[in-house]
Chain A
Amino acid sequence: MDDEWRAICDKFTNAQNLTDVESRKDPDNDPFRSKYKARELLREIYCSLKNFEEPPVDGQREDVFGQGFSGDSPAGLRAAKLGAVEYYLGVNHVDTEELSAGQEHLMNCMKLLERCRVSSENVSLFIHVRNQLGILWAGRDETETAQGFLETAESIYQRYMKEDGSPPTDMTEYFTTEEKLLTHQERTKRFELAYTHTMYYLAQVYKNLGETERAATYCHSTLQRQLQLNQFSPMEWALNAATLSQYYITKGRYMEGRHCLAAATVISGLAGEVPSEAAAQESETECERREQLRQKRAEIARCWIKYGLNLLQDAKKLLEDNIGELDSDRQEELKRARRREEEEEEKGRKSALLFGSEDTFDSIASLEEKVPCLLPLDFTEARAVFLVGQTYVTQAKEYFQMDGYVTDHIEILQDHSSMFRGLAFFEEDLERRCKMHKRRVDMLEPVCNDLNSQYYLMIRRQMMFELAETYNEMMDLKLTLANRQADTESLDNHTIKKFNSLCSASAKYFQMFLDSLCSPEGKSPEHLEEEVLRPALVARFRVARLHSQLISSVPTMQLDNLNRSLENYKYVVEYCDAHPEAVAAVETELELSREMAGLLPLKINRLKARMAENN
């Protein structure tokens, strides 16, 4: 018996070794060689175990914490051992792409366990087998089934920790000799890790079920448990935290977002220094490490950029009046509300989610303090947010250079431009505001013109639209400034020239955008796709307005401009008449277009009459 048992233990160790170590060295054309060998050993173990006498049974099965064999009874231990072999066979089959067979073995394990009560001897197996079944079913897109297994695993863990909590036996210990049993510390670590995996799988399951809030909570728990158990690779952890921050940002929860980002930055620091270029040229591993660290830190920087950008944009949305200007009454009201909140907060510190281990907690907190997380309410506050964002723009661009990373680089430029736009909203000096928009044009225009239109169609469309709008904005600002000095009729030549050039530039980019929607033969589409419907109609509307705004003293040019204008207003009206479903998307623009399409012909006729008179 003793020898026989020793043989079983040896076989098990061997199978584990084949699965975990040897299998990595298997050749490409025979990738599962070691796994197949391990499978044979497991089968042998199973047969040997089966041959051992079945102990007498007493008690009926019920729920897992109720009746059944107690875990440390002979029958309970036998079931656990057989169950463990079934479990390993199951995992083995899943690994070798025989999912149905794998499922069968895992279910056998479940059946064996069903007869036992949860105890420190078998609780680990209870959790592991459910984790595996969860993975298996999630892989088949049967998410609810997976959810069932994983949620049961979760509740078994919680109940066990509440009712017992002693470091449970690890499954590998079923097949080890006395002297090789694990320490309590090691047992706890393995058990907690299995449960961490349950959390991680549940996070994915909830994501797949569309329960994002819940998924985010489980992501957070997974990350925090990893930190506590000291089971993580710093860069990977940091990227996960940074990604999670993006979830909070989209929900407008900036305090949580900031916390995730600060944690990401601190933990990514644990990955060490970026190897120098010289070191990278010396060795391939250093080269790869350099690439990895630079890239991932740049990714985290980009998450910070989005943080700043959204903060500015949300503040703008909150503060703008119906013509998009800063509403100062609202500003005052919000400032008062904030002062009240701050007083409240003194009494009880807000409980936000928290990351950190003993070593990292302070660093995370101190980084957090340097970045605002409240919506900025005036220029000074907006500027502070902008500057944080801009620092990260510089950092991200160092890695994502145009040559090699076109799409990423442009995306960063677009964010930078949007941040300028957010900041400009708070700027009261119109000259300076105009200069901010000029900065946006300077960063986008050359790139937009250089981009290959076939490969970067989508990005170009976005950029053309943004440039058009920026020029439009600048034109409006110039006009407002000029009007402060004089009325439109008496604008000086220089101002008129400036105004017209901004006006034409805006119209040009709107037109380029519209052209990009045309067929290769230059025909504009009869039906506008949903995604471009509003932008396309708005672009038409703007082109119409811009042409009617161009200042010219030459009647023929005036006439041309008015005709172009009319043509575009008519397009909007006619398109909406032909496609009633489009009306909802452009209600305001449509109303104005109808009005203008009615008025412009009168104006055109008057002009024509005047021209005829003068001839």
Chain B
Amino acid sequence: SSQLAPSSDSNSIKVFVRVRPLTQGSGLTTDGDQNLCLTVTSPNTIRLLSKPEPRTFTYDHVADMDTSQDSVFSSVAKNIVESCVNGYNGTIFAYGQTGSGKTFTMLGPSELDNFTDELRGVIPRSFEYIFFLINREVERSGQSKSFLCKCSFIEIYNEQIYDLLDTASASLFLRENIKKGLFVEGAVEKFVNSAAEAYMVLSTGWRNRRVASTSMNRESSRSHAVFTMTLESKESINEVVNIRMSQLNLVDLAGSERQKDTHTEGSRLKEASSINRSLMCLGQVIMALVDVSNGKNRHICYRDSKLTFLLRDSLGGNAKTYIIANVHPGSKCFGETLSTLHFAQRAKLIKNKAIINEDTQGNVK
């Protein structure tokens, strides 16, 4: 059967917190700030030196400054990539303040072309692992199983969707189809046969992202970038062809510090305030999901932001999801770090919900 369901452990979103090392001479305003605002107290707890009392936060995993890229990959992505090859959908988010190390975690050092580098991030490592698994599966099955792998790469900026693989195209629309599920209409899909090819697609798109300089940070991503790899496996056993589809979404969110937009109102900052509506709504959706309603049927008028809509399956749906929350340990970043830690904690509460409208009376006679 091609029917899939999440196994019981996949229902909650897992959260991995990573603390970046302090920077020197990078031109960031956080340079030279040697005062730390947090300590990693165990592999799954972090203590924030807040006043008057320090606070401890617990996650699935907390990685300190010395954690290697490979160990991040093993904890976060390995399992998700494996399930993807087995037909589940998987999503990995990177969340955090600009300058907290999201890009480093996901991609590796910037301007990296040599992707055998020890510092390469979660994404290149995932590509390698996917193709390693695919090749192994094909071999094991004696060629009765085959895989088709496509990539698309889009960016959500100002609540508009742009194709990073086709910069000439106008903004795109999200649509749903009864058979295909949710998709970005008209997004370019590139077939890839190896990790190197996938990486090529990624780096082409990455260069097209909207990036800006602010005095706070040298480089800050203004957009959410969603790299999607669609895997289709075909297996013929005794004349029966079994097809499985799955998706791996790798998401680099815009800097979380722009959450302030939650509260701005009116036309004063219209342009600036819509930049990160996606992120704001993400928080709202999480609140709404966590919120226990009293079983009444209600409709909330606001469409999800494009981002949450696109990733609906990953937020309390039928998918395995890991959130990597990146934090900067410097005391100057206290406020933003606290907010990231809060966000990550709320995210932990999301559960896969199947609400069954069931008649509790009446039929038992």
Contact = CB atoms under 8 A, between A and B. Distances in A.
A183 B92 CA distance: 56
Interface stretch (B39-47, B101-109, B178-186): B178-186
Interface of B: 1-8, 11, 29, 86-87, 89, 98, 175-182, 210-216, 222, 245-246, 255, 257-260, 262-265, 268-272, 293-294, 296-303, 313, 317-318, 332, 334-336, 338-339, 342, 351-359, 361-365
By DSSP majority rule, is chain B's interface helix, strand, loop, or mixed? Answer: loop
A72 interface: no
Contacts of A538: 358
Contacts of A525: 7-8
Nearest to B273: A95
Contact of A249 (B5, B29, B259, B296): B296
Interface in A304-343: 305-306, 309-310, 313, 320, 322-324
A119 B173 CA distance: 52
A160 interface: no
A100 B211 CA distance: 23
10 contacts: A32-B214, A95-B272, A97-B258, A135-B264, A450-B179, A455-B180, A458-B317, A515-B1, A515-B3, A520-B5
Nearest to B363: A472
Nearest to B7: A519
B331 to A, nearest CB: 10
A139 B29 CA distance: 21
B297 A589 contact: no
A152 to B, nearest CB: 17
A418 B2 contact: no
Given A201-B263, A249-B296, A455 B181 contact: yes
Contacts of A520: 1, 3-5, 86-87
B145 to A, nearest CB: 15
B93 to A, nearest CB: 19
Contacts, number: 224
Given A32-B214, A139-B263, A239-B301, A461 B1 contact: no
A516 B339 CA distance: 38
A348 to B, nearest CB: 30
Nearest to B268: A20
Interface string A272-314: 0000000000000000000000011001101101100110010
A136 B259 CA distance: 10
Given A29-B213, A31-B214, A243-B300, A250 B293 contact: yes
A95 B258 CA distance: 9
A482 B41 CA distance: 71
Contact of A452 (B6, B181, B259, B364): B181
With a 10 A CB-CB cut-off, give which of A515, A517, A531 has the most chain B CB atoms. Answer: A531
A29 B263 CA distance: 24
Contacts of B222: 28, 31
Given A36-B215, A141-B342, A300-B301, A473 B354 contact: no
B178 A516 contact: no
A548 interface: no
A140 B335 CA distance: 6
A611 interface: no
Given A250-B298, A454-B245, A462-B355, 20 more contacts: A31-B272, A96-B215, A99-B335, A99-B336, A138-B262, A138-B263, A302-B299, A305-B299, A320-B361, A415-B297, A452-B178, A454-B4, A454-B89, A455-B181, A458-B355, A476-B363, A515-B3, A520-B4, A532-B356, A534-B358
B176 A406 contact: yes
B264 to A, nearest CB: 8
Contacts of B318: 454-455, 457-458
Contacts of A320: 361-362
B361 A306 contact: no
Contacts of B270: 24
Contact of B177 (A28, A296, A406, A414): A406
Interface of A: 20, 23-24, 28-32, 36, 94-100, 135-136, 138-142, 197, 200-201, 204, 239, 242-243, 246, 249-250, 295-296, 299-300, 302-303, 305-306, 309-310, 313, 320, 322-324, 402-407, 414-415, 418, 447, 450-458, 461-462, 465-466, 469, 472-473, 476, 515-520, 522, 525, 527, 529, 531-532, 534-535, 538, 542, 588-589, 592
Contacts of A300: 301
A323 B362 contact: yes
A135 B263 contact: yes
Contact of B272 (A23, A518, A592): A23
Contacts of A515: 1, 3
Contacts of A100: 332, 334-335
Nearest to B336: A99
Contacts of A414: 357
Contacts of A32: 214-215
Contact of A450 (B4, B178, B338, B358): B178
Contacts of B294: 250
Contacts of A458: 317-318, 352-355
Contact of A465 (B6, B272, B303, B357): B357
A306 B301 CA distance: 12
Interface centre among A141, A415, A466, A472 (most CB of B within 10 A): A141
Contacts of A402: 178
Contacts of A522: 1
Contacts of A461: 354, 356
Contact of A473 (B86, B214, B335, B363): B363
Contacts of B4: 453-454, 457, 520
A309 B272 contact: no
Contact of A95 (B3, B269, B362): B269
A576 B222 CA distance: 52
Contact of A29 (B212, B271, B334, B359): B212
B209 to A, nearest CB: 10
A531 B355 contact: yes
A406 B3 contact: no
A404 B355 contact: no
Nearest to B300: A243
B91 to A, nearest CB: 14
